[in-house]
Amino acid sequence: MAKKFDDSFEDYYAALGVFPSASPDEIRQAYVERIKDVHPDRFQQASDAERRDVEETSRLLNRAKDTLLNPTQRQRYDERYRARYSNESNELDNQDDVETKRHFYRKDRLGAFSGARGFGFLVIAISTIYILGASVGLVGRALMTKGVVKIAEAKQTIELSLPSYEWRTAFPVEGFGITEGSGAATLFSLTQRTIYRRTLPQNDEAPFAAKGSVEKFVLAKDKLAVVTDSSIVVYSLDGRALAALNGHRGKITCVAFSPDGVHLCSASEDRTIKIWNVRNRAAERTFAASNKVVESVAFTPDGIHVAFNDDRWLKLWSWRDGRVRQLAQHRDKILHVACSNEWAASASLGGELKQTHRITGAVKNVAQESGVITALAYSPDGQWLASSNADGRARLYTASSARLAQTIEAHHGKVSSIQFSDAGDRLYTTGADSAIKSWKLPNDTIKTVIN
């Protein structure tokens, strides 16, 4: 008999947009940012219903803060949290008859239902989505843009609410990557400081190297770089250590592979950026980029330049000859950068998203998103720019016109990462709701809307 879920359970981590591993300081910071957005003074002209929604959101945030900042209460809450999502995963595993009941389950929402049993599961799935969607809607309407000058945001044209595939994990996903081949794919995810590797369509999963100590990782076609504090180890996809890269004197904040996988760029709290040759394990360039910590780096598709943030500035470093160009300035600190053949994108703490033309230096104000942007990605052909957000949504913009083409109600709580498939016809997202999702993009529909 199926276990009954705890209907009174509230996901405080999702409400604050943080992971269960968040420190007390991170929880306080998240609370301060979110409670500002629901201050009563900002809703004096709102309707009674909207004010009630805001008041309930404020009470939820205060309950989350009080519980998670009290060590005893947090310990009890975490036990309920683990039990809740463990029970949910087990329930779905039993209904889908998944052959492997370890870390993940895989669910094909668009064609895996058959017979009376399948129909019953479909009803349960739709009901669950409806309930979660309503809950997210209440919070989302309250978490409005900060009190800054608002950039005109393009009108939303399309919404997707059902992924074509979904995998669920025991804990929130903090890092993700996927490599695709002919009829097969390898999926890597980071949860609880351990990387898990899953091969598809075989659907088998196992822990990867460096168990229990991983802080972040980045994936190339045939290798991945694993970061632990100030060290980097490069592995083959089957888990063989290829190179150890040591040289930073502070915690590494971000890493990125060059398009050919030969070079790796890393930035550290020692305020330097390094370019490593993975083959000979040498640091070919070291650049004192700023008196601030660099949060994000990205190679251009030709591998010649590296985009990085210098506090509120987006800059482009020609790493072979040392030249640096200033491209665009934000109101707040830049958190994420991405590059296409033509554009460099940057997202700042306040949700401001910009594109800068790499040749002309022309800057386009793309959007002022309603929450903190957590990741950026360009499609392989450079036509689309995707963003993931702490408000639970993923957004797709046209690179040429900087217009919003599609909004995806992706996750319950924070969307932690976003990535295009090699063919550019899918988006992969991960979230604080312990889910990895694959979204089939209706490109013909999008192009019709844009045209």
- Enumerate the β-bridge partners of residue 377: 386
Q: In the predicted model, what is the mean pLDDT of residues 330-337? A: 96
Helix (H, G, I), strand (E, B) or coil at 117: helix
Closest CA to 221 of 181, 170, 255: 181
Q: Using 50, 70 and 90 to split pLDDT, how confident is the model at 14?
A: confident
Cα 263 to Cα 245: distance, rounded to the nearest angstrom: 11
Average the pLDDT over each of 133-142, 346-355, 427-436 and give the range with the smallest value.
133-142
| Max mean pLDDT range (12-21, 171-180, 232-241) | 232-241
**Domain ranges (residues) in the chain:** 12-142, 159-450
Q: Using 50, 70 and 90 to split pLDDT, how confident is the model at 204?
A: confident
Which pLDDT value is given to residue 289? 77
Q: Using 50, 70 and 90 to split pLDDT, how confident is the model at 48?
A: confident
Q: Please list, in sequence order, all residues whose beta carbon lies within 8 angstroms of the beta carbon of residue 341, skipping any fewer than 6 positions away.
A: 300, 301, 302, 382
Q: Using 50, 70 and 90 to split pLDDT, how confident is the model at 125?
A: very low
Whether 294 and 273 have beta carbons less than 8 Å apart is answered as yes
Average the pLDDT over each of 97-106, 205-214, 360-369 and give the range with the smallest value.
97-106
Cα 144 to Cα 30: distance, rounded to the nearest angstrom: 14
Q: Using 50, 70 and 90 to split pLDDT, how confident is the model at 6?
A: low
Cα 105 to Cα 161: distance, rounded to the nearest angstrom: 20
Closest CA to 138 of 6, 12, 15: 15
Which pLDDT value is given to residue 381? 94
* Full strand arrangement of the beta sheet holding 194-200: 175-181, 184-191, 194-200, 204-207
Q: Please list, in sequence order, all residues whose beta carbon lies within 8 angstroms of the beta carbon of residue 396, skipping any fewer than 6 positions away.
A: 384, 385, 386, 404, 405, 406, 407, 408, 427, 441, 446
Side-chain-side CA neighbours of 23 within 13 Å: the count stands at 3
Average the pLDDT over each of 108-122, 276-290, 386-400 and give the range with the smallest value.
108-122
Residue at 419: amino acid letter = Q
Average the pLDDT over each of 10-14, 70-74, 86-90, 116-120 and give the range with the smallest value.
116-120
Average the pLDDT over each of 44-48, 117-121, 284-288, 389-393 and give the range with the smallest value.
117-121
Residue predicted with more confidence, 39 or 101: 39
Percent of the chain with pLDDT over 70: 76
**CATH entry, 159-450, from 2.130.10.10, 2.30.29.30, 2.30.180.10, 1.10.3720.10:** 2.130.10.10
Residue predicted with more confidence, 29 or 401: 401
| Max mean pLDDT range (31-40, 208-217, 287-296, 297-306) | 297-306
Cα 373 to Cα 390: distance, rounded to the nearest angstrom: 6
Which pLDDT value is given to residue 47? 76
Q: Please list, in sequence order, all residues whose beta carbon lies within 8 angstroms of the beta carbon of residue 308, skipping any fewer than 6 positions away.
A: 267, 273, 289, 294, 296, 297, 298, 314, 315, 317, 337
Q: In the predicted model, what is the mean pLDDT of residues 177-199? A: 84
Which pLDDT value is given to residue 123? 39
Question: Cα 264 vs. chain centroid, distance in angstroms?
Answer: 21
Average the pLDDT over each of 13-17, 127-131, 177-181, 319-323 and give the range with the smallest value.
127-131
Which pLDDT value is given to residue 41? 66
Q: How far is CA 421 from CA 111, 151, 161, 418, 439, in A?
A: 21, 30, 19, 10, 10
Cα 42 to Cα 30: distance, rounded to the nearest angstrom: 19
Is pLDDT of 98 > 50? no
Please say whether the dihedral angle defined by the alpha carbons of residues 122, 123, 126 and 132, taken in this order, is positive or negative: negative
Largest pairwise CA distance in the chain:
67
Whether 56 and 138 have beta carbons less than 8 Å apart is answered as yes
Cα 408 to Cα 396: distance, rounded to the nearest angstrom: 8
Phi, psi of 212 (to 5 degrees): 80, 5
**Mean pLDDT for all residues in the chain:** 80
Cα 446 to Cα 434: distance, rounded to the nearest angstrom: 29
Contacts 24+ apart (CB under 8 A), 128-136: 129/161, 129/162, 132/412, 133/161, 133/409, 135/412, 136/392, 136/409, 136/412
Q: Using 50, 70 and 90 to split pLDDT, how confident is the model at 395?
A: very high
